[in-house]
Amino acid sequence: MLNFDLNTPVSSITRVGKTTAGKLKKLGIETVKDLIFYYPFRWQDFSVVSEIAKLEATDAATIKGKIQLINNRRSFAKRKNLTEALIADQSGSIKVIWFNQPYLIKVLQPGDEVYLSGKVDFDRYNLQFVNPVYEKAGGETIHTARLVPIYSLTGNLTQKQIRFLISVVLPAIDLIDDWLPPAISKKLNLPDQKFALRQIHFPQNQKTLAEASRRLKFEELFLFQLRIFLSKQEISATPAEPVKFHEEETKKFVDSLPFKLTNDQRRAAWQIISDLGQSRPMNRLLEGEVGSGKTLVALLAMFNAALDGKQAVLMAPTEILAGQHYNNICRFLGKTKIKTALLTRSQQILNQKKAGKIEVFKKIKSGGVKIIIGTHALIQQDVKFADLGLVVIDEQHRFGVRQRQLLKQKSDSGSDRSRPVATLPHLLSMTATPIPRSLALSLYGDLDISVIYELPEERKKIITKIVEPRNRPAAYDFVRGEIKDGRQTFVICPLIDLSDKLGVKAVTAEYEKLKDQVFPDLKIAMLHGKLKAAAKEEIMADFLAKKYDILVATSVVEVGVDVANASVMLIEGAERFGLSQLHQFRGRVGRSIFQSYCLVFTDSQSEKISRRLGVLVSAKDGFELAEYDLKFRGPGEIYGTSQSGFPEFKIARLTDYQIIAEAKEAAQAVISEGLDKYPVLKQKMDQAGENIHLE
């Protein structure tokens, strides 16, 4: 009998104290079930147990032997504790050292038979194990002598801890009901879920691991595709209110802009406006090169919705971006009488004046404002719309398909006006991270796509340079020169220390260096994730108002930020970013008539990395870079971290084309038969739905 079930909190499992429970919670692990569904992201192959005599220097070796001797001593030079041991099997013996684990002599004693897995290296003339993982021989191993799971962790949780916990709760897998219709697993030859879950954590061999991983990837992609089909069904079953094209006003508006639209902008705007005129909801993705002016295209659509007496929402991933969109849009709308609001967690602005939340909510509900710009707050809070005709989601890869659906639903239930039929608003999503078309189609087969390749004519190509360490002073001189000419500079720092999630340390260190040593005479500000939204907002506003010459930041400036006067983007530790992300950074400059520069620094000497960074210089556009990332580093790189990219996938990757296709076909089949015929699956989908509401 198990003394726990799937919902048992981890804190009531053996050896989980308060602190550990807290750390697990940070990983989203609160129950036994969460542990089981916390998949490893890689497996280290320690499965071959070697004879000691046959060992060679290697990163991954395993032996089984008896401890002959084990002792602690202080290393003379570094005053560290060293634990030294001698281990022997029938073929020979080898020295082992561990650093700073003095307690080991209590755990491991002469005569104990152990497995050791880890790195074998030369100590002068002889081979030795350095900091190997150890495990007593006897039972089934979980840390050594097998394919060993590696989990992504935070804080100082250890692999051993989490492996141990998962091994403890593993029997609870028997309590999980397999929800995948048996006909599907049979047809596709997928292993059952219990097998898959066990094997994903502690695989017997590469083959069972591959089977398990295929099954679990399929699960995710299948649910994802089902959701897409369901929403497609809902969309096609629900009409939208057509938005009339107000040709005269639109022309006048476009003429009032300080620039001429590019041809691509015109074409995209036209495709969108034609969609809006239909009584079927638009579902379109607007992709474009960074800085190609997508916001304006979206604004043309929102403008028409507003003239038609409907409301339009623009949702941005960060407060900074929402604020910036709001300011720009108000500036463009200038003399028109269209009422606007900004709604984020910390800011509510109505027709360009600060306002109370209640007041903004009221005006949205009454239809008094037509264009509403905001963040996630728009979903989370109890906003009700009077007549939502259009939803625009900026940087849509940051929002899951689910959130998109939620906002749509909100508008539905939020409608005050009694209508004969429920309607759905039109939907436009935008992304500046070019999704290679093949990928977009295989995932979001239900979307129409418009692409803006062209940049506004007056833009000059950004000059990108990979700067050698010895040229750093020259680069700083260059920055100084640009600033003297009135321009501004961004400096981006990578997160070096994993515990420094918000980038406070990295940014502060760089900021202090620049302020105290390099540019003591210049005005420098810093921006990182720990700052309150209002503070970030203020810093961005001040930077925009040229109160600072240099802004040192984490990747928070990655998406969308628009400071036309900035002409230098200086990136530190570039090897830590994907090319698409670097391209995004670079897109923060070159947004006006000034010649702009991207100065790229790397701490790495690796040839491979310098070749990869070279592509940043040579590629013609973001699409090419995205393809490159996809090919060489996986989709996570295109979208920044995998977490911020597609949160719905724990194990599936966007390059799992084959499984995506299988999942799509299976989902299609289920939908055409009717989900009602699959009560278990339906329940699973409903549960997933509930989770969304709790998010």
Residues that bind ligand ADP (CB under 6 A): 259-262, 265, 288, 290-296, 432, 456, 560, 562, 564, 591
Q: In what order do the strands lie in the sheet with 488-492?
A: 463-466, 597-600, 566-571, 488-492, 550-553, 524-527
Classify residue 165 by its DSSP letter. Answer: H
What is the smallest separation between the CB atom of 121 and ligand ADP, expressed in angstroms? 49
Rounded to the nearest whole angstrom, what is the least distance from the CB of residue 397 to Mg ion in the complex? Answer: 12
411 binds, among ligand ADP, Mg ion, none (CB under 5 to 8 A by kind): none
Q: Is 293 in the site for Mg ion (CB under 5 A)?
A: no
288 binds, among ligand ADP, Mg ion, none (CB under 5 to 8 A by kind): ligand ADP
Span interacting with Mg ion, options 376-384, 554-562, 565-573, 673-681, rule CB under 5 A: 554-562
- Residue 131, classed as helix, strand or coil, is strand
3-state class (DSSP) for residue 523: coil
Q: Which of 82, 63, 72, 71 is nearest to 123 (CA)?
A: 82
Beta bridge partners of 286: 430, 450
> SS3 sequence, 429-484?
EEECCCCCHHHHHHHCCCCEEEEECCCCCCCCCCEEEECCHHHHHHHHHHHHHHHH
- Tell me: does residue 640 bind Mg ion (CB under 5 A): no
Between 107 and 257, whose beta carbon lies closer to ligand ADP? Answer: 257
Q: How far is the CB of 532 from ligand ADP (least distance, A)?
A: 24
Least distance to Mg ion from the beta carbon of 558, Å? 11
494 binds, among ligand ADP, Mg ion, none (CB under 5 to 8 A by kind): none
Residue 555 contact partner, candidates ligand ADP, Mg ion, none, CB within 5 to 8 A by sort of partner: none
Structure-token match 């080898």, residue found: 94
Rounded least distance, CB 104 to ligand ADP, Å: 55
Applying CB under 5 A, which part among 200-208, 233-241, 352-360, 559-567 lies near Mg ion?
559-567
Q: Which of 246, 561, 560, 215 is nearest to 397 (CA)?
A: 560
Tell me the window of 96-104, 143-151, 257-265, 560-568 that interacts with Mg ion (CB under 5 A): 560-568
Which residue blocks in 595-634 are alpha helix, DSSP H? 607-618, 622-632
323 lies in the binding site for Mg ion (CB under 5 A): no
C-alpha count within 13 angstroms, C-beta hemisphere, residue 248: 1
User: CB of 563: closest distance to Mg ion in angstroms?
Assistant: 13
Q: Which residue is nearest to ligand ADP (CB)?
A: 293
Query: CA 29, CA 236: separation in Å to the nearest integer?
Result: 38
Please report whether residue 40 would count as binding Mg ion according to CB under 5 A.
Answer: no
317 scored as a contact of Mg ion (CB under 5 A): no
Cβ proximity to ligand ADP: between 292 and 580 the closer is: 292
Token digits of residue 307: 């003239």
Decide whether 195 or 332 has the Cβ nearer to ligand ADP: 332
Nearer to ligand ADP, 163 or 588 (CB): 588
> Nearest 10 degrees: CA dihedral of 558, 451, 291, 578?
30
The smaller minimum CB distance to ligand ADP, of residues 67 and 392, is found at 392
Among 560, 578, 622, 645, binds Mg ion (CB under 5 A): 560
Between 63 and 430, whose beta carbon lies closer to Mg ion? 430
Looking at the Cβ atoms of 143 and 591, the one nearer to ligand ADP is 591
What's the CA gap between 137 and 8, in Å, rounded? 30
CB of 494 to ligand ADP, least distance (A): 22
Smallest distance, ligand ADP to C-beta of residue 296, A: 5
Closer to ligand ADP at the Cβ: 265 or 580? 265
Q: In the bound complex, what is the minimum distance in angstroms from residue 507's beta carbon to Mg ion?
A: 23
Helices (H) and strands (E) in the chain, counts: 25, 23
Q: How far is CA 466 from CA 475, 623, 633, in A?
A: 10, 21, 20
CA distance 674 to 365: 37
Give 527's contacts (C-beta < 8 A, 6+ positions apart).
Answer: 507, 536, 539, 540, 551, 552, 553, 554, 556, 557
Task: Decide whether 13 or 451 has the Cβ nearer to ligand ADP.
Answer: 451
Residue 292, binding choice from ligand ADP, Mg ion, none, Cβ under 5 to 8 Å by partner class:
ligand ADP
Q: Which of ligand ADP, Mg ion, none is residue 290 near (CB under 5 to 8 Å by kind)? A: ligand ADP
Cα(495)–Cα(504) distance, rounded to whole angstroms? Answer: 9
Convert 16-30 to b/e letters by CB count within 10 Å (16 or more is b). beeebbebbeebebb
Residue, CB closest to Mg ion: 560
Q: Which does 265 bind (CB under 5 to 8 A by kind): Mg ion, ligand ADP, none?
A: ligand ADP
Question: Using CB under 5 A as the criterion, which residues of the chain lie in contact with Mg ion when the complex forms?
Answer: 560
